């Protein structure tokens, strides 16, 4: 019986747009979730190495966060407030400053740009253009920054770009760190274009970059590459926008994924795991001297999602009062890396490559078909894991940071088995 004929799925297949995608890989109806597990309507458990595409760094329904959320709602406190002053917003701002910014010696003003990561990117691009009076932006090959028009123009994926229906302009792609297997000096082309007044490159207002390209195939930028980029931007008076939507909030270890490189971007985009429980929320952080907006020049309805402020502040207190989570993430990440390398070594002719940093990990297969078979085989064995990369050739592992070692082992064993099966096919 096809999905379309099955009454279980009738509401979806007949009423939701064809654009839906994840439900095609995982054709079950999920209902409950706790920690590292999701459960479908039949009660079957699925180990979650997807974590809402990076939204659920602290796992599903973390009891501490759930409690403050339920308490907040139950006591009739404000749920929605645009950018009005609220107690929830004050506590969020104060805690963010005290536990996240100050300890890292960072001085940023907070813009609440709207509820999603694309809003954070759109706000950063707008502000960078206003500050510099320039229009053009440099992005990197295989970048992903969002689906709204401004964010899409700096995104690489051709299917998604084509969806815009208008020519996407004002952006020029430059090679990301690993684009030529590091055969060439960093920024050799970008810097040449910037210093040559006849190059034809419109001088950019900003460069937008991810430290690890999750959607692009779990490509990692080395710390020295990020430092080189930061210096290049400073030298040429170009603003550096760090899109930490997927890699921030501890995914690679530190709260911000750029901490390890020791750089201080001009703007930082944060979203996904910021609320801690999956509620829509996003931030654009800007240096005080760049905060040149007029009141209301950028606005939006859902900038005051108070339940998200409450869980976000509690998440800071729970996970970022000390460095235990950071250390655990790095330790778990190293373990995943070693296991992925073992799997790769087991199939020396298959061209498997382990990639990633912290708990953002990838296993690259020879092609998208193979990676797809591994993902599908993993689902059959009770593991949710997606693929990414231009040809979907990379199995992308984003377990909750709170995952236990047993869960990691279980998931990696499934991936190993699914890989064995896929490569034997």
Q: Across the strands, what pairs with 384? A: 48
Toward a second copy, which CB reaches closer, 102 or 324?
Answer: 102
Pairing of strands 30-34, 37-40: antiparallel
Q: Is 36 helix (H, G, I), strand (E, B) or coil?
A: coil
Among 285, 289, 287, which residue's Cα sits nearest to residue 268?
A: 285
* Residue 176: count of CB within 10 angstroms of its CB: 22
Toward a second copy, which CB reaches closer, 112 or 319?
Answer: 112
Contact between 312 and 304 (Cβ < 8 Å): no
Toward a second copy, which CB reaches closer, 138 or 359?
Answer: 138
Q: Which long-range contacts (CB under 8 A, 24 or more apart) does 402-408 make?
A: 402/35, 402/36, 402/57, 402/58, 402/59, 402/62, 403/36, 403/59, 403/332, 403/359, 404/36, 405/332, 405/335, 407/36, 407/47, 408/332, 408/335, 408/336, 408/339
Phi then psi for residue 137, to 5 deg, are -135, 145
Among 291, 206, 212, 208, which residue's Cα sits nearest to residue 248?
A: 212
Minimum Å gap between C-beta 342 and a second copy is 28
Helix (H) or strand (E) segment spanning residue 410: helix 405-424
Toward a second copy, which CB reaches closer, 137 or 412?
Answer: 137
Minimum Å gap between C-beta 67 and a second copy is 9
Please calculate the CA angle 348-53-246 and round it to the nearest 5 degrees: 95
Backbone φ/ψ region at 171: left (φ over 0), alpha (ψ -120 to 50), beta: beta
């Amino acid at each position: 019986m096809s999905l379309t004929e099955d009454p279980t799925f009738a509401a979806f297949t007949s009423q939701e747009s064809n654009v839906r995608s994840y439900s095609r890989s995982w054709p079950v109806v999920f209902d409950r979730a706790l920690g590292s597990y999701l459960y479908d309507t039949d009660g079957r458990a699925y180990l979650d190495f997807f974590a809402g595409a990076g939204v659920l760094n602290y796992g599903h329904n973390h009891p501490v966060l759930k409690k403050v959320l339920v308490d907040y709602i139950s006591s009739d406190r404000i749920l929605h407030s645009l950018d009005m002053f609220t107690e929830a917003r004050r506590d969020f701002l104060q805690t963010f400053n005290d536990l996240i910014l100050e300890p890292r010696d960072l001085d940023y003003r907070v813009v609440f740009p709207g509820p999603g990561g694309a809003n954070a990117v759109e706000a950063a691009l707008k502000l960078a253009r206003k500050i510099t009076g320039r229009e053009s932006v440099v992005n990197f090959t295989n970048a992903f920054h969002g689906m709204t028009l401004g964010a899409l123009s700096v995104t690489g994926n051709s299917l998604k770009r084509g969806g815009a229906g208008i020519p996407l302009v004002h952006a020029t792609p430059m090679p990301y760190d690993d684009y030529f297997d590091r055969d060439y000096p960093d920024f050799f082309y970008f810097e040449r274009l910037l210093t040559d007044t006849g190059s034809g490159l419109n001088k950019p207002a900003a460069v937008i970059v991810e430290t690890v390209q999750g959607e692009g195939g779990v490509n990692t930028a080395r710390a020295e590459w990020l430092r080189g980029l930061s210096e290049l931007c400073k030298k040429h008076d170009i603003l550096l926008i760090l899109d930490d939507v997927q890699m921030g909030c501890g995914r690679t270890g530190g709260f911000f994924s750029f901490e390890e490189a020791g750089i201080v971007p001009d703007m930082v985009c944060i979203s996904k795991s910021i609320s801690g429980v999956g509620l829509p929320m996003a931030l654009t952080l800007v240096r005080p001297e760049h905060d040149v907006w007029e009141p209301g020049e950028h606005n939006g309805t859902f900038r005051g999602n108070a339940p998200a402020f409450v869980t976000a502040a509690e998440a800071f207190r729970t996970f970022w009062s000390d460095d235990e989570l950071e250390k655990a993430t790095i330790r778990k990440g190293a373990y995943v890396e070693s296991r992925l390398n073992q799997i790769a070594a087991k199939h020396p002719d298959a061209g498997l490559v382990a990639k990633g940093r912290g708990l953002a990990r990838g296993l690259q297969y020879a092609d998208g078909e193979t990676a797809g078979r591994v993902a599908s085989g993993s689902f059959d064995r009770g593991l949710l894991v997606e693929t990414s990369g231009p040809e979907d050739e990379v199995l992308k592992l984003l377990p909750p940071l709170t995952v236990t070692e047993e869960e990691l082992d279980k998931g990696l064993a499934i991936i190993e088995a699914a890989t064995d099966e896929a490569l034997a096919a």
